[in-house]
Amino acid sequence: MDFGPFLFLATLEGLVQAAVLCLTALGLSLVFGVMRVVNVAHGEFYMLGAVLAYWVTSWLAGSPAIGFALALLIAPLLVGVIAYLSEKLVLRRLGYDPEATIVATIGILYILQQSALLTFGPDARPVEPPFYFRVEFPWFGYSGYKLIVVAAAAVLLALAWFVITRTRLGLIMRATQFDRQTAQNYGIDVNRVYALVFAAGAAFAAIAAVLIVPIQQAHYLMGGDPLLLAFIVVIIGGLGSVRGTLLAALLIGLSDGILSVFFSPTLAKMVSTTLVALVLVFKPEGLFGHRSRL
Amino acid sequence: MLLELEKVDCFYGDLQVVKQVSLHLKAGEVLCLLGRNGAGKTTLLKSIMGQVRRRGSIRLSGQPIENLSAHEIPKFGVGYVPQGRRLFSELTVRENLSIGEMARVKGQANLKDIFTLFPVLEKRLDQMSGTLSGGEQQMLAMARALCIGPKVLMLDEPTEGLMPQMIANIREVIVRLKQQGVGILLVEQRVEAVLSVADRIAFIENGLLQETVDRQQLEENDASLKKYIGI
């Protein structure tokens, strides 16, 4: 294949990765930005989304499209409920202390990971795509499902953007993010906002996982890589910045996709981590981040 | 009585900063808390807002609020303008005012009335509040608190760092709110500003309420000022 079509193929692969990364990182960024909680268990919410998608689709094995559509509803909902309970039973009791919540979310990580292992076993579980079709380009054919993943992520991100910037709920979240004490002075129940944000953040990770699982398979150890990449994106983009998260996810997703195709996945990871180091040294609040008052 | 505090203690962790403070505030009255830095004035306001651990009885319009969470208290009609304004500086003026409205129990804030008090804000609705001048920020902080429709307004050093013209504007607004029946609890360092608006002055020293005097009494005899403020 010539260089041009090869680059186009690599860009498409990068776009798919960026789309899923955007959703995963947005969840982490919201939690980090609004609550100042470093959620080390975020990757496990992603894993749970994938595993639950396998569970739902295997339950409705006869019709992949209906099974997938149900998985897209049920998995994020269940993951959101689990996250909501984790916030209420663990993080709230720790007073959202930054150090204590890191340790607590590491604990949640292991509980979720080992629960998935005990329930679904150690094998990778395939999930059938809801439909098969190929989009024919002049140089090659490409999976239609992957393009649908990019489009679905774009729609979800636009929806999230709308909620955060144009609705009363979004205004409450932004006010809480900027100054929780003053938000309380205006009747905002900060604990409730935190529980909602934590659940929504986990649900975003779960949606990303449901979208990607027909391409990758569900496995109880699959949460590590998305967590690392999501942290890279959040640090580069800036704490709690939706715009920063989207741009950083595009940058990292595309560079990861292109470098992995042309060179090696290891080089792609080296570039990502170097970028993080540079941002931490020269712009510690991230490209679009701001400091908050707590 | 709008606001009644009885034997209120306040704590930062194990450290007690306010001890056995009792005071009250009536509708249309301005009560000023005076005292040196670190006397416990701001902490007392924070305790009313539920932001510090407190003990004792706090009643708003006869309702006990001492056991309520911080976010429940504004719904009883308390507006609080903290020291340093604490605006949501990355939100617009309009969004800051919308946040203020969220604590209203019923109806919408009458922005027309609020813009009569602070006309400049109407022209700045879509401007980021962090880009306003110091005086405009103070106006926005007060306007945001007024969006609640407060029966009690607590102002912590509202004239700090402002130009004389802006201080006169703030004073005028306080007088108009007082005429509308709002009870105002004012923490202020500038004695002349206090004497121009306050009905009563409560002196706080080392977390203890030392004495409460009428403005007239203080104008006739400034011994308390010398004793507690050193003027």
Using CB atoms, pick whichever of B50, B89, B100 lies closest to residue A186.
Answer: B100
DSSP letters for B147-158: TT--SEEEEEST
Nearest CA in chain B to A193: B71
Q: How confident is the model at residue A291 (pLDDT cuts 50, 70, 90)?
A: low
Chain A contact set for B91 (CB, 8 A): 171, 174-175, 178
Is residue B105 less than 8 Å (CB to CB) from chain A?
Answer: no
**What does pLDDT average to over chain A?**
92
pLDDT digits (tens, 9 = 90+) for B16-36: 999 999 999 999 999 999 998
Chain B contact set for A180 (CB, 8 A): none
Using CB atoms, pick whichever of B72, B82, B88 lies closest to residue A178.
Answer: B88
**What does pLDDT average to over chain B?**
92
pLDDT at A292 over 60: no
- Any idea which of A258-262, B131-135, B143-147 has the lowest mean pLDDT? A258-262
DSSP letters for B40-75: SHHHHHHHHTT-SEEEEEEEETTEE-TTS-GGGSGG
> Is the distance from CB of B146 to CB of B109 less than 8 angstroms?
yes
Taking residues A206-230, what's their average pLDDT? 95
> Is the distance from CB of A198 to CB of A64 less than 8 angstroms?
no
SS3 for B31? strand
* Residue B106 pLDDT: 79
Is residue B170 included in any domain, yes or no? yes
Using CB atoms, pick whichever of B88, B95, B103 lies closest to residue A179.
Answer: B88
Q: How confident is the model at residue A131 (pLDDT cuts 50, 70, 90)?
A: confident
Amino acid at B134: G
- CATH, residue B140: 3.40.50.300
> Is the distance from CB of B215 to CB of B49 less than 8 angstroms?
no
Compute the nearest-CA separation of A291 from chain B (Å): 11
pLDDT digits (tens, 9 = 90+) for A234-273: 999 887 778 888 899 999 999 988 888 888 888 988 898 8
Is residue B165 included in any domain, yes or no? yes
* Residue A294 pLDDT: 45
Report DSSP state, residue B201: E
Query: Residue B78 belongs to what domain range?
Result: 32-41+71-228
pLDDT digits (tens, 9 = 90+) for A157-210: 999 999 999 999 999 999 999 999 999 999 999 999 999 999 999 999 999 999
Where b means 16+ CB within 10 Å and e means fewer, A186-222 reads bbbbbbebbbbbbbbbbbbbbbbbbbbbbeeebbbeb
Number of domains in chain B: 1
Is residue B5 included in any domain, yes or no? no
Q: Under 8 Å CB-to-CB from A26, ≥6 apart: which residues?
A: A157, A160, A201, A204, A242, A245, A246, A249
Nearest CA in chain B to A182: B86
Q: How many residues does chain A have?
A: 294
ipTM metric? 0.90
Is residue B212 included in any domain, yes or no? yes
Whether residues B99 and A175 touch (CB distance < 8 A) is answered with yes
Taking residues B58-64, what's their average pLDDT? 94
SS3 for B95? helix
Is residue B4 included in any domain, yes or no? no
